[in-house]
Amino acid sequence: DQQVKQNSPSLSVQEGRISILNCDYTNSMFDYFLWYKKYPAEGPTFLISISSIKDKNEDGRFTVFLNKSAKHLSLHIVPSQPGDSAVYFCAASVTQGAQKLVFGQGTRLTINP
């Protein structure tokens, strides 16, 4: 039972344009969502997060949008840069029980010069 799904295994975007990565979840108990970025041969690194009491969180070039009714979140990167090429994982957590992250399958983003 895949509670967090990233349906696009890969995405290719031209440098300078907007990258949009999508994530869907099924468990309505999830109330905290995170995006992690992973380079080859490295562990995932935290990128940005959002609580379910918000519908948008912005940090520089990165913005995460949450649509609770649709159980959908997205990560926007604008403008996209070559260094953004990586695998991006969406993760979700439930407040109680603390710290257990459920990850999606990941989306490989490639930024083309």
Interaction site with another protein (CB under 8 A): 4, 6, 9, 32, 36, 41-46, 49, 51, 89, 91, 93, 97-101, 103-106
Question: Please, what is the minimum distance in Å from the beta carbon of residue 44 to another protein?
Answer: 5
Question: Please, what is the minimum distance in Å from the beta carbon of residue 4 to another protein?
Answer: 7
The neighbouring-strand residues paired with 71 are: none
What number of other Cβ atoms are within 10 A of residue 84's Cβ? Answer: 18
- Nearer residue to another protein within complex by CB, 72 or 100: 100
- Nearer residue to another protein within complex by CB, 60 or 113: 60
- Nearer residue to another protein within complex by CB, 6 or 85: 6
CA dihedral over 13, 72, 108, 11, signed as positive or negative: negative
CB 62 within 8 A of CB 75: yes
- Give the closest residue to 73 by CA, choosing from 26, 9, 10: 26
Question: Please, what is the minimum distance in Å from the beta carbon of residue 82 to another protein?
Answer: 22
